[in-house]
Amino acid sequence: MKYHMLFNPKSNNGHGSEEVEKAVEKLTSGKSPAPEIIKQDITAIDIRQYIPDKTAADDVIFICGGDGTLNRFVNDTDGLEINRRIDYYATGTGNDFFRDLGIEKGNIAEDIGKYITNLPKVTVKGKTYRFFNNVGFGIDGYCSEVGDKERAAGKTKINYAGIAIKGLLFHFKPANAVVTIDGKKTEYKKVWLAPTMKGRFYGGGMMPVPTQDRNAADGSLSVLVWHGSGKLKTLMIFPNIFKGEHLKATKYCESFSGKKIHVSFDRPCALQIDGETLLDVTEYSVEA
């Protein structure tokens, strides 16, 4: 048995290559003989060819990266019969998938295949993607957009909470939205957030809908619609999202459950899928 360690050098603000050595140490420490490990930059290969051509049935696919790396893996392997054990070592900045599983960074999540099959799909601008954590639309997409710009400018530590606060006060303007869940359409004014959640967490620990269960038997998803509040009121409530207590502000924060979700804004905004940013989006559709 071999471990094919597929790592993303760009994860953890460009420190992914360093983090992968910690994963190697975790796998080999105290083991004699040490397992055979093949390190491979996941961004430099065609994963659909690599798995059938380079791995055997009893080999382990070992993914090292953040939530964005997992998103890349599940989309690049969409429709591929993997039939290999898949382990995961989180080296990202948010690591919300790990957080949802109750696993602390520095540990290994073994055999995660059950979590990355039968995933929901989101369609944006005519293209369909799988996602395993969330689709964020509103100020969360704005935060991803600004974070990408800061990273491209060479900044190594991205403070998404700080970006959100500045956005709330100065830069991000809420949109009017139409939200349709399983055929029921509702119009909202001044929408700050309208994410669809497969897991409980996003943005490094925020809980838009704390009751969401990624293992729900019917595959249902949760939607948060944060609407109607002014800047200062939104800023006052916002810190509570890290505990899921923002939903106590029932006048502004509503949550729903469903399988077919469509969200449209009356102006273009950035959207993020598991932390990967898409710009100038006016609508998205999700199917569980």
2-115 adopts what CATH topology?
A: Rossmann fold (3.40.50)
Angle at CA of residue 106, ends 100 and 109, nearest 5°: 50
- Per DSSP, the three-state class of 103 is coil
State which fold the 121-287 domain adopts. Answer: Tumour Suppressor Smad4 (2.60.200)
Residue 33: alpha-carbon gap to chain centroid: 36
- The Cα angle at residue 202 between residues 44 and 112, in degrees rounded to 5: 55
Rg (CA), the chain: 19
Domain ranges across the chain:
2-115, 121-287
In whole angstroms, what is the distance from residue 189 CA to residue 178 CA?
9
Q: How far apart (Å, rounded) are the C-alpha atoms in residues 259 and 235?
A: 31
Calpha distance 273→173 (Å, rounded): 20
Phi-psi region of 17 (alpha: psi -120 to 50; beta: other; left: phi over 0): alpha
- Check if the beta carbon of residue 20 is closer than 8 Å to that of residue 5: yes
Per-residue pLDDT of the chain (288 residues; tens, 9 = 90+): 899 999 988 887 777 788 889 999 999 988 888 899 999 999 999 999 999 999 999 999 999 999 989 999 999 999 999 999 999 999 888 899 999 999 988 999 999 999 988 899 999 999 999 999 999 999 999 999 998 999 888 887 788 888 988 999 899 999 999 999 999 999 999 999 999 999 999 988 999 999 999 999 999 999 999 999 999 999 999 999 999 999 999 999 999 999 999 999 999 999 999 989 999 999 999 999
Q: Which amino acid appears at position 194 of this protein? A: A
Neighbours of 147 (CB within 10 A): 21
